[in-house]
Amino acid sequence: MNAPKPKTLFEKVWESHVVHQEPEAPAVLYIDLHLVHEVTSPQAFAGLRSRGLTVRRPGRTVATVDHSIPTGDPSLPLTDPLASKQIAQMEENARRGGIRFFGMSSAGRGIVHVIGPELGLTHPGMTVVCGDSHTSTHGAFGALAFGIGTSEVEHVLATQCLLQRRPGVFEIRIEGKRGPGVTAKDIVLALLARIGVGGGTGHVFEYTGPAVGALSMEERMTICNMSIEGGARAGMMAPDDTTFEYIAGREFSPRGEEWDRAVAGWRALPTDDGAVFDRSLTLDISDLSPMITFGTNPGMGLAVGGPVPRPEDVKDPSQRSALRKALEYMNLTPGEPLLGRPVNVVFIGSCTNGRLSDLRLAASVLRGRKVDPAVRVLVVPGSQAVKRQAEAEGLDRVFTSAGAEWREAGCSMCIAMNGDQLSPGQYAVSTSNRNFEGRQGKGGRTFLASPLTAAASAVTGKITDVRTLS
């Protein structure tokens, strides 16, 4: 008998979730975990009601509020009537649907992609979806996790399934050892600078190679989180002992015999030797510098010490005009260095870099230092649990004594629909994931970077290479 065909991690997860497939049609794919937030779900629940349907498997959906909530003083009442309505409706929809809900006053609430893993809801081998493109974060556990639209949210609520075309698998092999000052964020920004924002379209990334195994779970999440910025709906990493140690003992993690069975299954998930990827690329991180973006999409990145690219050096005419348009919006001069450029705001937080290890990195720079008084610095934990842990370690006092704001959990200035936003023309160094025009506030200008670079820039008030901070 022939040996079974070697399979990729993606193939194993995909094939074990196909409920049915008609010829020529997309697969009916079973969804294990459905995360829901207040902004992309109200129309889905309304659709369900108008068709007279109910939530098929309420136990497989978990809801929270994160996008439109304020992150200021929690004792103050909500002042935005539209946000209040969304929040109230999320609560009502969860109650009526019998869905577990982490609301405003809940100790478990936070950014949906921070709390899923933190509560032990995300497991290897699962299918995870959410009406949110950064659902790719959960792929760090070896889950197939991707963002969906609101119609699809309704499909999952009604049937616990989605119609999906099978994507290709794009191997991103990461090799080498990174130097000081280089974080997971820099690795993914370097990847995006190389492949561009559409480079992964139609594919799922699988990150492989020794450098991936050496990353912590939180670092892995930072990288998988930004897979979508390369156009890949999902990014996956093989589960290993680091993964299992992270999951063990969390609120919704399996226990006892169930745990042993689960781990045995998870150990069989990694890509088999000899399995074939549709595409492959190798990224060597040995010589990587801290990265920063200069433009208006996450693929427009460069080493922090490098010059802003010149449109005349770009051969492709449409790329040249895109670069010109971006530099105009950012009001940057081609050829000039970004280092030393004054900024108005530093934002440390988001589902990319709002976890405890990110706050520790930022605190390692801010401890015993002061932020530049001309800069507003917001530190926003990714969840209330991250907030409590950070406070237990005294990180909040590091931030506040440096002159930074220590806020409540939420998406905050990553999306600027909750009161935290840039003013027109302002520059921010931000640890979030999108530097699109106006993403952090109408007319605002974003430089994406790591928590280390953000904290160093907060201290000097200028874009700074953390390795040179005296």
Q: Which of 132, 206, 229, 465 binds ligand SF4 (CB under 6 A)?
A: 132
Q: How far apart are CA 205 and CA 212, in angstroms?
A: 13
167 binds, among another protein, ligand SF4, none (CB under 5 to 8 A by kind): another protein
Q: How far apart are CA 399 and CA 71, in angstroms?
A: 16
Shortest Å, Cβ 116 to ligand SF4: 11
Q: Which is nearer to ligand SF4, 115 or 456 (CB)?
A: 115
322 binds, among ligand SF4, another protein, none (CB under 5 to 8 A by kind): another protein
Give contact residues for another protein (rule: CB under 8 A): 16, 19-20, 24-26, 28, 30, 32, 39-40, 42-43, 46, 51, 57, 59, 67-68, 80, 82-83, 85-86, 89, 131-133, 147-152, 154-155, 158-161, 163, 165, 167, 197-198, 201-202, 228-229, 231, 233, 297, 318-319, 321-322, 325, 415-417, 424, 434, 436-439, 442-443
Shortest Å, Cβ 136 to ligand SF4: 10
Q: How far apart are CA 76 and CA 68, in angstroms?
A: 15
Q: How far apart are CA 149 and CA 151, in angstroms?
A: 6
Q: Which of 111, 172, 262, 398 binds ligand SF4 (CB under 6 A)?
A: 111
Residue 383 has what DSSP assignment? Answer: B
Q: How far apart are CA 191 and CA 319, in angstroms?
A: 18
Q: How far apart are CA 392 and CA 395, in angstroms?
A: 8
Q: How far apart are CA 450 and CA 142, in angstroms?
A: 24
350 binds, among another protein, ligand SF4, none (CB under 5 to 8 A by kind): ligand SF4
Phi, psi (rounded to 5 degrees) for 250: -80, 165
Shortest Å, Cβ 359 to ligand SF4: 14
By CB neighbour count within 10 A (0-12 exposed, 13-18 middle, 19+ buried), where does 373 fall?
exposed
Contact map string, positions 313 to 352, toward ligand SF4, x by CB under 6 A? -------------------------------------xx-
Cβ 419 vs Cβ 378: under 8 Å: no
231 binds, among ligand SF4, another protein, none (CB under 5 to 8 A by kind): another protein
Structure tokens that stand for 318 in this block: 């449409």
Q: Which is nearer to ligand SF4, 430 or 453 (CB)?
A: 430
Q: Which is nearer to ligand SF4, 136 or 464 (CB)?
A: 136
What is the separation of C-alpha 421 from the centre of its chain, rounded to a whole number of angstroms?
Answer: 19
Please tell me whether residue 189 adopts helix, strand or coil conformation: helix
C-alpha distances (whole Å) from 172 to each of 87, 111, 371 are 39, 27, 37
Structure tokens that stand for 265 in this block: 């299954």
DSSP 362-373: HHHHHTT----T
Shortest Å, Cβ 164 to another protein: 9
Residue 228: CB atoms within 10 A of its CB come to: 25
Phi, psi (rounded to 5 degrees) for 463: -65, 125
Please tell me whether residue 50 adopts helix, strand or coil conformation: helix
Shortest Å, Cβ 415 to ligand SF4: 4
Q: How far apart are CA 36 and CA 25, in angstroms?
A: 27
Shortest Å, Cβ 150 to ligand SF4: 15
Cβ 82 vs Cβ 419: under 8 Å: no
Shortest Å, Cβ 418 to another protein: 9
- How many residues form the binding site for ligand SF4 (CB under 6 A)? 13
Contacts of ligand SF4 in 48-87 (CB under 6 A):
66-67
Shortest Å, Cβ 290 to another protein: 24
Q: Which of 227, 293, 433, 440 binds ligand SF4 (CB under 6 A)?
A: 433
Shortest Å, Cβ 189 to another protein: 16
288 binds, among another protein, ligand SF4, none (CB under 5 to 8 A by kind): none
Beta strands per DSSP E along 323-402: 345-348, 376-379
Q: Which is nearer to another protein, 144 or 402 (CB)?
A: 144
98 binds, among another protein, ligand SF4, none (CB under 5 to 8 A by kind): none
457 binds, among another protein, ligand SF4, none (CB under 5 to 8 A by kind): none
Residue 286 has what DSSP assignment? Answer: T
Shortest Å, Cβ 405 to another protein: 21
Q: Which residues bind ligand SF4 (CB under 6 A)?
A: 66-67, 111, 113, 132, 134, 350-351, 411, 414-415, 432-433
